[in-house]
Amino acid sequence: MKLNKLALATAAIVGMTASGISQAVQLQVSITNLTHANYMTPRLVIAHDETVDAFEVGTTATTALAWLAEAGVIDDAQDAASAGQNFEALLGPAVTDNGSNTWQRFGGLLAASATVSYPFDTMGKPKLSLLTMLIPTNDAFAGLDSITIPTEPGTYHYFLNAYDAGTELNDELNSTRTDIVEEGGGPLGAYGAPGVAGAGAPPLSPNMGTGGTGVAVTVGLAEDGSALAGANEVVDGTDGPVHIHRNTLGDTSRTAGKSDLDSTLHRWLNPVARVTIVVPAP
């Protein structure tokens, strides 16, 4: 995200009027998906103070970040299994002044090239962060990293990088597959299990392959290359701390190769999203 600080410095200031230190500011926050064929899961938007840090490069991800980056889950309503571990547990209730923060989930899958816009009440908090998972990936997310909310009325643009939460190896295996299982026998997909999330969702499934042998880890092998108990098992390892995502690999085979992603569709380069914030005149 910090790639875009120049954009901040050169942001088009629209309708400059007398500024003042504002309290409850109603921002208009919009996000555009700049990738070729990745979808973005419901957006977590947080206004917060210095004590809240949703993610930090070089630092191990929280469980809340792992839920967001592996499964696109922010709160209990999305997945009851995440209760006590998700961002709702970390931050407090949504659309509430939680002291250090206030946050909202803005729902719906955001398709490539699409833009959505939301009104967002900052409740006087000085910083803003926005996180959304890229699917289909193992644990990639686009992040706006604790920017200082501008106080001058105007329109501000920020460009977001794709980060790797580091909580799951990038095996790039289709989570709807039943010919392979998590080590020990569990199904693939979602939080705490190997495989890319969202593979079964209608917008993604037509472009998902099967038969891949695994990218960052190989089906049937542990991370050190030794054989697992079952030849169809996939190990669930980590590759943290949080860092810039090296991009998906993909391949051009729908039925074989290492990856179940398509290298002609599912790759990206930073920036992967643009966030525009409109600060209204008081």
The reply to whether 139 sits near other proteins by the rule CB under 8 A is no
| Minimum CB distance to other proteins, residue 15 (Å) | 14
Helix (H, G, I), strand (E, B) or coil at 64: helix
| Minimum CB distance to other proteins, residue 118 (Å) | 19
Which token pair is 160? 């977001």
Ranges within 25-64 binding other proteins (CB under 8 A): 57-59
| Minimum CB distance to other proteins, residue 173 (Å) | 14
Q: Which of 78, 101, 122, 270 binds other proteins (CB under 8 A)?
A: 270
Which token pair is 136? 């289909």
**Nearer to other proteins (CB atom), residue 14 or residue 231:** 14
In degrees and rounded to multiples of 5, residue 109 shows phi and psi of -75, 135
Tell me which residue has tokens 């600060």.
279
Tell me which residue has tokens 């074989």.
256
Which token pair is 164? 């790797």
Ranges within 108-137 binding other proteins (CB under 8 A): none
What does R_g of the chain's alpha carbons equal in angstroms?
19
The reply to whether 263 sits near other proteins by the rule CB under 8 A is yes
**Nearer to other proteins (CB atom), residue 140 or residue 199:** 140
| Minimum CB distance to other proteins, residue 208 (Å) | 17
* The dihedral formed by the CA atoms of 19, 91, 82 and 105, expressed in degrees to the nearest 10: -20
Q: Return d(Cα 192, Cα 63) in angstroms, integer.
A: 10
| Cα end-to-end distance, the chain, whole Å | 28
Contact flags string 222-241 toward other proteins, x per CB under 8 A: -----------------xxx
Contacting range for other proteins; rule: CB under 8 A; set: 4-12, 87-95, 128-136, 177-185: 4-12
In degrees and rounded to multiples of 5, residue 216 shows phi and psi of -75, -20
Helix (H, G, I), strand (E, B) or coil at 150: coil
| Minimum CB distance to other proteins, residue 5 (Å) | 4
Under the rule (CB under 8 A), what is the footprint of other proteins? 2-12, 57-59, 147, 157, 159, 161-162, 164, 166, 215-216, 239-247, 249, 251-253, 257-258, 263, 268-271
